Structure 1
Amino acid sequence: MSDQSRGVLTALAAILILMPDTVLFRMVQSEIWVLMVWRAFYQGLVLWLWLCLTRRGALLIDMRELGWFGPAFAAAMGFAAICFNLAIAWTTVANTLFIVATTPLWAALLSRRWLGERLEPRVLATMAVCGIGIALIAVGKDPGGIAHWSGNLCALGGALGMAIGFTLARRAGDRSMIPGLAVATVLPLCFGAAMGGAVMPLPGDMPLLFVIGAVIAPLSFALLTTAARFIPSAQVSLMLLLETALAPILVWWIIGENPGQNALIGGGIVVIALLLSNLAALRRS
């Protein structure tokens, strides 16, 4: 199997695993703070166990080598996790995913500021078009009355948090950020606990929370990271748009959450702009 085929199949497997994530979020009946605590707990447990088993005595050395990048990365990704949880609770899944999909654009903007990388006209044009799409999403209303400006703002905060984390990871060079990702789970866990989420979930929610935190999150991340070794990052981003476009439809079909006309139009603008931008980047690479 060629590297291209291996990378595409690995990324596709990650997307198929990630697809049910938002559906399971909606099926959890416990309040958002309980979901936040248990999702972070299971995700952190899996990451720490994996690090301890694979790195053993070298884990402390790995964490020291990260320097200030480690805590900064953990803070950014922990903040993004909190925002994502709140966005799913306070607005529609479609709004959340469409807004979070703009993360690479914010990362490009930060890379210009922090890494001195040239900001291509393609990225600026994509940001302008995506801004129109996000504006349509922000002013739209869904038939179920779920969408709220606070959730849309949290989704934007999640995108910015991940963009900061990805930019820091690039600046850190070859140093692995997985220890930082494990530390990042402490932030949503503590925040959720402080808000009253440190209790047992409602009956029937524990299996869902386990799948969300212990299976979907770490496995999809591991597969996407592996895929990026075989195919260009633009192609990985291109394939991730499948999840952005299809997950809201899956939630609509299974849960009955209608995102509303404005969200569909605005989300379509965002997805098409990112699609064309990534295709252009992929063609150049």
Structure 2
Amino acid sequence: MTHGRAVALMVLVTLMWSIAGVVTRHLEVARAFEVTFWRSFFNAAFMAVALLLWKGRGLWEELRHGGWPLWVSGLMWSIMYTCFMVALTLTTVANVLVTMALGPLMTALLAGLALGHRLPARTWGAIAVAGAGIAWMYGRELAGAELRHLLGTLVALGVPLAAAVNWTVIQRTTHQPTYARRRDLLPAVLIGAAISAAVTLPLAWPLQASAHDLGLLATLGVFQLAVPCLIAVQLARVLPAPEMALLALLEVIFGVAWAWLGANEVPSPQALQGGLLVLGALVVNEALGLRRARLAAGITVPEASISRRGDP
């Protein structure tokens, strides 16, 4: 796959991820935990069929011998699935998506602590600016905000926190070549969906979703979650992680736009201003990282060519 085609597919992935908010706003009866249950159920069902067709009996072997990274990753996926949908039922799409945009910075912090990765100055600067953006988003609204919006924001924070743990576990596994070849963490997506569905079913009972709701939630489970996750795992073999993180931020822009156009959910001026600060900090951080990597690559190639020429 060419780099340009991989970038185009990653943009498509973010577009598919971004439809959750606007689709949720068109549900008739299903609410909160029932929304989470059905989306996770349809995701798990599709992933089970897809992975069985792809891996056959090897899927069961990977589930049995995946070790703790597989199950920790699965648990983090379940937290992300559950917190995301519950948060959408409590607060605005803009609040949820901008809060989720903190994921790359939280991942950098946790990777620095757990894996010994040193954070460059640009990342520390991005953390400070993003923190100021979040404070601006919510600080001016704390006094008059409804309790559900504050609760929704706190629940949404579970998504970037779980994503940070998940990515750190995946990084730790990937950096051990022999270990990584024996253990594929893709089944963790299935594990996470199954855990999320099992945990939220008792809280969602009795189920009340209409046929209309089930159609929308099946769309979310398959086309907003399972399919883009499968594509993203393949794209990770072509695109560098910083570039994928940068492209993934398009979900925030697409998601707010969908909710604005498709559900008439106009974000507050504070949410837009603070969100721009957060997104700007993340984009600059990732763009500078990519520029530095490309400059380093550009310096390395000429040196190698000089050494091959054998000039005196």
TM-score (normalizing by structure 2): 0.85
1:224: how far off?
2.0
Measured against aligned partners, the alpha-carbon deviations of 1:171-203 in whole angstroms (never above 9, x if no partner) come to 122332111111111222122212134524124
Deviations 1:34-73 (A, max 9, x none): 1111100000011111111111121122224421112211
- Give the C-alpha shift of residue 226 in structure 1: 2.3
- The amino acid of 2:69's aligned partner reads F
**1:15 counterpart residue number:** 14
Larger radius of gyration: 2
In the TM superposition, residue 159 of structure 1 has moved relative to its aligned partner by 0.8
Structure-2 residue corresponding to 1:199: 207
1 CA distance for matches of 2:230 and 2:123? 27
Change (3 A) 1:100 1:209: same
- How far is 1:140 from its partner? 4.6
Within 2, Cα distance between the matches of 1:241 and 1:181?
21
Instruction: Report the equivalent of 2:119.
Output: 119
Q: Is the 8 A contact 2:11 2:250 kept in 1?
A: no
How far the C-alpha of 1:260 sits from its partner, in A, is 0.5
**For the residues of structure 2 that align with 1:61 and 1:75, how far apart are their CA atoms?**
19
Partners of 1:6 and 1:230 within 8 A in 2: no
Mind listing any 5+ residue stretches in structure 1 that lack a counterpart?
none
* SS of alignment partner, residue 209 of structure 2: coil
CA distance in 1, matches of 2:261, 2:146: 17
Instruction: Give distance in 2, aligned partners of 1:89 and 1:80.
Output: 15
Equivalent position SS for 1:153: helix
Alignment-derived partner of residue 155 in structure 1: 156
**Distance in 2 of aligned mates of 1:146 and 1:97:** 19
State which drifts further: 10-19 or 155-164: 10-19
Q: Equivalent residue for 1:105?
A: 105
User: Residue 221 of structure 2 aligns with which residue?
Assistant: 213
Q: What pairs with 1:228-267 in structure 2 (closer than 5 Å)?
A: 228-267=236-275
Indicate if the aligned counterparts of 1:71 and 1:180 stay in contact, CA closer than 8 A.
yes
Superposed displacement of residue 210, structure 1: 0.8
Cα deviation digits, residues 206-258 of structure 1 (max 9, x gap):
11011000222111112222222222222222222222123212211221112
Give the Cα separation in 2 of the matches to 1:207 and 1:60: 30
Change (3 A) 1:80 1:188: same
Deviates more, 1:196-205 or 1:49-58: 196-205
